[in-house]
Amino acid sequence: MASYRYQALGPLLAGEGSRAFLGLAISEDSRARPVVIIWVPDTALTDPALLAKIQRETEHAAKLDHPNIVTVMGFAKLDEGSARVVEFADGESLRKIIETGKKLPPRIAAKIMCDACTGTHYAHIAGNDDGTPLVHGDLRPETILISFNGVTKVTGYGALAFAPRELGGQRVKGRRVHSAPEQVIGGRDAITIPTDVYLLGLTLYECLTGAVPWADQGDFFDHAVLTLPLPPAPPGDVPEALEAVIQKACAKKANDRYPTPLAMREAIEAAVGTELASTEELTKYLDTLFPQSHQLRADRRHTIDAGIADFVRRQWADKERTETTPMMRAVVPPPGPPQPASSTPAPASSVAARPPAPAQRARASQEEDEGDAKEEGSSTPWLILLAVFIAVIAGWWAMRKANEPIPGAGPPPSLTPTRPAAAIDAGVPVVEVDAGAPASEPDAGQVPDTDAGAAAVPEPLADAGVAALDAGHQAPAEVEVRIESRPSAELFLDGQSLGRTPWTGRLSPGRKTFRFENKPALLNAFRAVTLKAEPVSESFTFEKGKVIVKAPEGAAIFIDGTRVGTAPIRGEIPVYEGSHRISVSYGKAKWSEPFTLYAGQPVTFNVEMQ
């Protein structure tokens, strides 16, 4: 398996309660590809046994290789925490598609479920390490993803340890409506291959009707799942042939269902016939719901593009610095008396790593031609050294004159051996002078000690080397930037605080992703700005969403570390849009989840704690 290092970029914006972030997987040959980083819950970080189980399940899921299953890349430990890393499929969950399209056309729903059946059947065949089938057990619209190129992918393999604990054989609230009868009775331990068939049939029913059977039954839901037939679909929603498929897939007894998801797929294809949508039709249907200009789709693409661009820029800067730094180590000796001949070969220098300069070639040729004709004490070596020295001085003077600014065009850029922050941001290398000092790079803004090299390199020659190598590699001019926000917030760029808004400063051109944080106001949001050559002024207004928390009475509720109340909290908690984390503390029990909130969006958390 290929080895990667991972870098988190920003929230995936996958909806309520999502722990998923966009990120980059960087291979050993420095190639970057987008991935999704799913953070391990905080509760697992303090439970070594649970964390080990998550890692084992993730590594096993990474062995699955099928186009209808989201590829699991592995388990990773980053500075921000531990996480599962999966492929970025660039699509939307079936849940989001149903919410947007309400009811899917039968040919589209059939295509999606056929592909989901194929991926699920492959996992059954691939199996667990002990040879038993790898049953999903949590198939629902939230765990089925459709990419924008029309490929359906089943997600969630290897995430069983992530799921909330089931108590007393009951499915966790919120997931119970997507349960087979055996799950209602026996929980996870009761799942088999027919369980996945049932869940696929239930999902097909929801695709066609926009509703989950018995979801409105409340406390009588378990009884309905165990005893009642599927509620009849509204007339015209479900073609008769597909209704027969759903009825068989959702039979109460496991033995009455299709034996495998593959058999269910064959039944769907037979029921739909030539009406089954193609991959191209599914792609077009998604484009009508989520066009390229769709805000979430555009934000994700921008986050990835900005991350890759920044990575490439840094790679280019590192490469340029690696290539140019050795050239600065060549030292031109000052004129002095010729050294006596020695039979010991001279040590190789960095000059030998590149072709000799013309003056050096001329000198070598002349010395070779004269051969033994030179007499000890001759003035010829002095003349040659003097000629070299004069040529270098002349070259430096000509370069300096050529680089002088045109009157009225502004001051020339200063040449400094340190690396300005603007150059780092822009990815442009700044040549660093090594005049015999230690190889460590000086801190930004610190003038390195030049005493060590003063005797070896005359100051004019050192400046000439900088001018010669820096020509054509000038850092782009910085842009004046003004950022305002309502409410006022602390502004961050690349993890560094710039100050509080309104903020004015100078930054290098390019795409910048700013983070706005105001903890007392519960604001933590990202905004991207493209800086060009002209000054930029941006003003952002952040709107609020609503958070509803249902937790045991007396539980303390926190958002982004700020206590917002004690349960029961009546009504809604106003929270600014952006990325947040909710935490609930009840006695010794603690629960925490990250979530993304959009303007005007209500998010509800049902927290069940012992």
The percentage of the chain sitting over the pLDDT mark of 70, rounded to a whole number, equals 70
Q: Residue written as tokens 């952006």?
A: 578
Mean pLDDT in residue range 110-136: 93
Element (DSSP H or E) covering residue 566 = strand 562-566
Query: Does the structure show a pLDDT above 80 at 337?
Result: no
Tell which CATH architecture fits domain 91-289.
Orthogonal Bundle (1.10)
The two most distant CA atoms of the chain are separated, in Å, by: 115
Q: 203 pLDDT band (50/70/90 cuts)?
A: very high
Tens of pLDDT along 166-186? 444 444 445 677 889 998 888
Residue among 213, 102, 203, 205 nearest 152 (CA): 203
What pLDDT sits at residue 148? Answer: 92
Q: Phi and psi of 533, rounded to 5°?
A: -80, -25
**Beta-bridge partner residues of 500:** 490
Average pLDDT estimate for 226-235: 84
Query: How do beta strands 144-147 and 152-154 pair?
Result: antiparallel
Tell me the CA distances in angstroms from 246 to 12, 105, 468, one per residue in order.
33, 16, 76
What secondary structure, in 3-state letters, does 33-90 show?
EEEEEEECCHHHHCCHHHHHHHHHHHHHHCCCCCCCECCEEEEEEECCEEEEEEECCC
pLDDT digits over 134-144, tens only? 999 989 998 99
CATH number of 544-606: 2.60.40.10
User: What confidence tier does 153 reach under pLDDT thresholds 50, 70, 90?
Assistant: very high
For the chain, the structural domain boundaries read 4-89, 91-289, 479-541, 544-606
CATH number of the domain at 4-89, please?
Answer: 3.30.200.20
Question: What pLDDT is attached to residue 169?
Answer: 47
Average pLDDT over residues 317-335: 53
Q: CA-to-CA distance for 442 and 28, rounded, in angstroms? A: 28
Going from the C-alpha of 76 to that of each of 20, 64, 80, 439, the distances in angstroms are 14, 18, 11, 33
The C-alpha angle 320, 324, 328, rounded to 5 degrees, equals 155
For residues 571 and 484, the model is more confident at: 484
Q: For position 394, what pLDDT does the model report? A: 63
| 428 within 8 A of 475, measured Cβ to Cβ | yes
Give the per-residue SS3 of 460-497.
HHHHHHHHHHHCCCCCCCCEEEEEEEECCCEEEECCEE
Residue 411 has pLDDT above 50, yes or no: no
Q: What is the pLDDT of residue 383?
A: 58
pLDDT at res. 462 = 35
- What is the average pLDDT score of the chain? 75
For the chain, how big is the Rg over CA atoms in Å? Answer: 33
The alpha helices in 90-192, defined as continuous H runs, are 94-101, 106-126, 181-186
Q: How far is CA 218 from the centre of its chain?
A: 39
Quick check: 374 pLDDT over 50? no
Q: Give pLDDT, residue 161.
A: 63
Mean pLDDT of the 17-42 span: 84
**Lowest-pLDDT range, 146-155, 322-331, 435-444, 525-534?**
435-444
pLDDT surpassing 70 at residue 447: no
**Above pLDDT 90, what percent of the chain?**
24
- pLDDT digit string (tens) for 38-87? 888 777 778 888 888 888 888 888 999 999 999 999 898 887 788 889 99
Say how far residue 586 (Cα) sits from the centre of its chain: 33
Q: Taking the model in full, what pTM does it have?
A: 0.54
CB of 392 within 8 A of CB of 287?
no
- Does residue 350 carry a pLDDT above 50? no
